[in-house]
Amino acid sequence: MGATAHVLDASGYREYGDLSQLAQLLNTPGTTVWIDTEGRNPEVDECLRELLKLHPLVVEDLFGDSNTPKVEDWGDYLYIVMHGVVREPGHRLELAPLEVDLVIGPNWLFTHHTVKLPAKESVETELRRNPKAMARGPAYVAHALLDKLTDMYIPVAEQIDESVDAIEKAVIHDPDPELLETILEMKRAVQWLRRMSVYQRDMTQRLSRGEFDLIPEPALAFYRDLYDQFVRVTDLTEGNREMLGVALQVHFTVTANRTNDAMKALTIISAILLPMTFVAGIYGMNFDHMPELKWRYGYFFALSLMAGIALAFYAYFKSKKWI
C-alpha cells in the first residue's frame, strides 16, 4: 500500500515511490503527473488537501465505497467513480465490483483503489514503453485506465451469453433442481451486470459529448468508444436477462407438465384399480348365500370380470386420448 507518482516533463518519463517532490512537479509548466494510490495514509491526505486542494466531500468519497458509478464537475477538477468487474473465487458465477476513483485536473490525474489493480499495472507498462498518453494530457491517461476497466466487462458478458445459450438447450431436456439453481444464480449476476453497465453507459456518454472542459475535444472520440462498449454490454445483458426470464418460465412449465403427467398416470391407474377393488371387495364378504361363492368357476369368473373392467376402462381412456 502506498502512492506512486508518474511524471512526464521535458526530461522524459519517470516514476517516484513517494510524493515528496510533487509540489514542485505540479507547478512546472509542461509537466503531466499521474498520482496513483492504493489505500490511505497521511502523505496522501496532505497531497489531497494542500496540493490538489480537493473539496472535503470529494476526499470523503474517494476513500469511501460507492455502489454507483458517477461523474461530478467541481470546476477545477473532474471526479469520476468507475467500477470494473471481477469474479469471486470459489463461486461459479459471483460477480463483484472493483471500484476505482479518478480525479482529473488541469495537468494531473489522481487515482485511488483499495486492492491490486491489473488495469493500472497494464497502463503503467504501456507508459513505460511509450508515454504518449501522458504527453497528450491527464484526460488521455484517465481514458487508458477507464478503457482497461471497460475491457473487464466484455469477456464476462460474453461468457454469460454462452452460458445462457447452454441453459436454453438444457431447460427443455433436463429441468432438474440444479439447473434451476444455475438459472437463478445467472439471473442475479445478469441483473447486477446490467445495472452497472447502464450506469456506466450513461456516465461515459456524458464524458463523450463535450460536457466537461477538462476532457479536450480531441479526446471525445476515445470516450465515445467507451460508451459504445458499454452499449454493447448493456444490449447483451438485457437480452440475456429476458432469455433467463423465459428459461425460468419454461423450467417451471416443463416441471409442472412432468408433474401433471405423473399425476395423470397415477390417476388412471387408480381409476382402473378402483372397480377391480370393488369386485374383490364384493366377493370377499363371505356371506353364506352368495351365488358364486361355492361355484366351481367363481374364482375365474371374478378374475375375468376384473380383467374385463380394466380393459374397458383402458379402451375408454385411449379413445379420449388421455393415455
Residue 223 lies in a domain: no
Q: What digits encode the pLDDT tens for the residues 278-300?
A: 878 777 777 666 776 677 777 77
Radius of gyration of the chain (CA): 35
Confidence class for position 226, pLDDT limits 50, 70, 90? very high
Residue 169 lies in a domain: no
Q: Which of 108, 135, 162 is the last residue of a domain?
A: 135
Q: pTM of the full predicted structure?
A: 0.76
> Domain count of the chain?
2
The residue from 135, 167, 189 where one domain ends is 135
What's the whole-number average pLDDT of the chain?
Answer: 84
User: E strand or H helix at 270, and its extent?
Assistant: helix 220-282
Q: Answer whether residue 41 is part of any domain.
A: yes
For the segment 116-146, what is each residue's pLDDT rounded down to a tens digit? 888 889 999 999 999 888 899 999 999 999 9
CA dihedral 282, 288, 289, 295 (to 10 degrees): 80
Residue 17 DSSP SS3: coil
Write the CATH number for 86: 3.30.460.20
Report if residue 149 sits inside a domain: no
Q: Three cell numbers at 298?
A: 367363481
CATH number of the domain residue 311 falls in: 1.20.58.340
**In-domain check, residue 158:** no
Assess contact for 65 and 114: CB atoms under 8 A.
Answer: no
131 and 260 inside one domain: no
In the chain, what's the furthest Cα-to-Cα distance? 123
Give the torsion through C-alpha atoms of 211, 213, 219, 221, to 10 deg: 20
Q: Which of 103, 135, 167 is the last residue of a domain?
A: 135
Lowest mean pLDDT among 69-78, 88-97, 193-202, 291-300: 88-97
Residue 274 domain-assigned?
Answer: yes
Environment class of residue 198 by beta-carbon count within 10 Å: exposed (0-12), middle (13-18) or buried (19+)? Answer: middle
Q: How far apart are CA 125 and CA 26, in angstroms?
A: 23
Give me the pLDDT at residue 221, please: 93
Predicted pLDDT of residue 115: 84
Residues 238-250: what's their mean pLDDT? 82
Element spanning 7, H or E: strand 2-9
pLDDT value at position 179? 79
Q: Is residue 262 part of a domain?
A: yes
Q: In this structure, is residue 198 part of a structural domain?
A: no
Per the structure, the complete domain to which residue 267 belongs is given by 256-319
Mean pLDDT throughout 257-277?
79
* 131 and 1 together in one domain: yes
* Residues 153, 230: Cα–Cα separation, whole Å: 8
Measured between alpha carbons, how far is 136 from 260 in angstroms, rounded to an integer?
A: 68
